[in-house]
Amino acid sequence: MEQYKIGCRMERLKKMSGSGKSLSKLIKKSGAKLKRGSPDPIVTRLVIDSRRVTPGSLFFALPGLRQDGSAFIDEALRRGAVGVVSSEPRRFGNSKAVFVQADDPRLTLAKVARRFFGKPDKDIDLFGITATNGKTTVSYLAKHFLSLDGVKTGCLGTIGYDLVDRVLPSFRTTPEAHELCELLSQMRDFGCTRAVMEVSSHGIDQLRIAELKFKVGVFLNLTRDHLDYHGDMENYFAVKRRFIDGEIGTVPKKLVLNVDDTYGRRLADEHKEESTITFGTSKQARLRATDIELAPDGATFTLEWDGKRYLVNSPLIGLYNVSNTLAALSMAVLGDVPVEKCIGSLNSFGGIPGRMERVITGQPFEVVVDYAHTGNALENALKMLQEITPGKVKVVFGCGGDRDRGKRVEMTKVSTELADYCWATTDNPRSEVQEQIFDDMREGISDHSKIEFVLDRRRAIELALKSADPGDCVLIAGKGHEPFQEYGDTVVPFDDRKVARELLESMKLGGRI
């Protein structure tokens, strides 16, 4: 329901490119075939949700994991759809609507959307980033770097859709194909000639980016996540590879690959073109970081690139953020932005919401909110905080409902092994019973004396903050920038950063800190 409401808000704000296009032009060379009706009704909107259909809409009945769009064709027709695209032949009764049959309605949607919105990727250099962890940080950094030469650069991802002259709330990391093309079209209307976007595995597999032409494709890493959808790691990797290899469209003109990652090395072994930049700390990397020094307020390292060495002072903490910075610098290089200019601009970089974001109210210990919601991301965060924290590192974390159950064991194991104490709590339980999620998590406990299970997330954060001594660090992990909790079909306002700040202020007023 929340996604539907956000989608409606986006529609109210959107700027349509033209009054409509004829169906015959839209489906030309798309592989879809007109099976019934006039070939030339005027299509004014592309829709996949029958509730959003208005007269003039072309409704795409997409297959789904839980519901099939074909079940909503009658509703779409009642609301005034001029046509339906589906893989299943069906009777339309007395309706005058057009029926278009497509072997793969998702691919047809991608092709039609690109044409409907005037092929915006022809006017915008697309920089696509795919990974399990780090996509948002790299996208923010890359947008920062790619804007330094005065070129308007948009950014689409988990936190929001930044069209430069307008920012919309994000409801998917990678929007559906017609939404994506519309957003790119608006960017073009606002004068953008570059766009950075996060490319999720779901977005690849569900053909949301099909047909788009990317100037640069970026691969950061691959760790366990989404196996409820992909099945196993090789299938997960195969989906990511489809973007890098151009199997769902054109091959990106240039590539950026992380050779510190096992899967990144596999891709690098297959892509040795001069236009590929490999990055990392290993000698195999073309763009390399050496002499790394980590501190509580950032990192310092030497950048080796193109036969030159540069001293880099970054405000981002942790070794994995050194890697993220290398990725963004590689993208800037391929965008012809001078590397010296990028390095010099790091001191003005404003950071990323919910990514190692410090909550400061004058307390004598650190409080950090981070989006870490996989075993690998938690491991990276906890190891990094252990290195820079003089006292103890404590963590509040949870595991989402209706998602890969296998990673719950990993997350709990990592937390109890690396943190000094843990509070396991809720994190978007969705339709699952929280106690079942807790039971799965308990299987990963390595030390029962170091963990406490607390049903209420606010209470868990409160217990962690009250336990902290001067010099300690409390990591509140899992939700990052998210301002809500999901329970069944209900979305409840909840922002870790806001809650932590409120609790810290209350503790100060009560004389406890």
Mean pLDDT of 303-328: 96
How far apart are alpha carbons 448 and 176 in whole angstroms?
43
What confidence score (pLDDT) does residue 1 get?
Answer: 42
Whether pLDDT at 253 is above 90: yes
Give the bridge partners for 130, in sequence order: 219
Whether pLDDT at 266 is above 80: yes
pLDDT (tens digit per residue) in 437-492:
999 999 999 899 999 999 999 999 999 999 999 999 999 999 999 999 999 989 99
Question: Which DSSP state fits 198?
Answer: E
Mean pLDDT of 352-381: 95
Length of the chain measured in residues: 513
Structural domains of the chain sorted by starting position, each given as residue range(s) with its CATH number in brackets: 19-115 (3.40.1390.10), 119-348 (3.40.1190.10), 357-509 (3.90.190.20)
Lowest model confidence (mean pLDDT) among 18-22, 235-239, 331-335, 448-452: 18-22
DSSP codes of every residue in 437-461: HHHHHHTT-S-GGGEEE-S-HHHHH
Pick the closest to residue 331 from 305, 300, 292 (CA basis).
305
What confidence score (pLDDT) does residue 300 get?
Answer: 97
- Residue 92: pLDDT band (50, 70, 90) is low
Q: Considering the entire predicted model, what is its pTM? A: 0.89
State residue 156 phi and psi, 5-degree precision: -120, 125
Q: What is the mean pLDDT of the chain?
A: 93
Instruction: Give residue 415's identity as a one-letter amino acid code.
Output: S
CB atoms within 10 A of CB 87: 18
Cβ neighbourhood burial of 390 (10 Å; 0-12, 13-18, 19+)? exposed
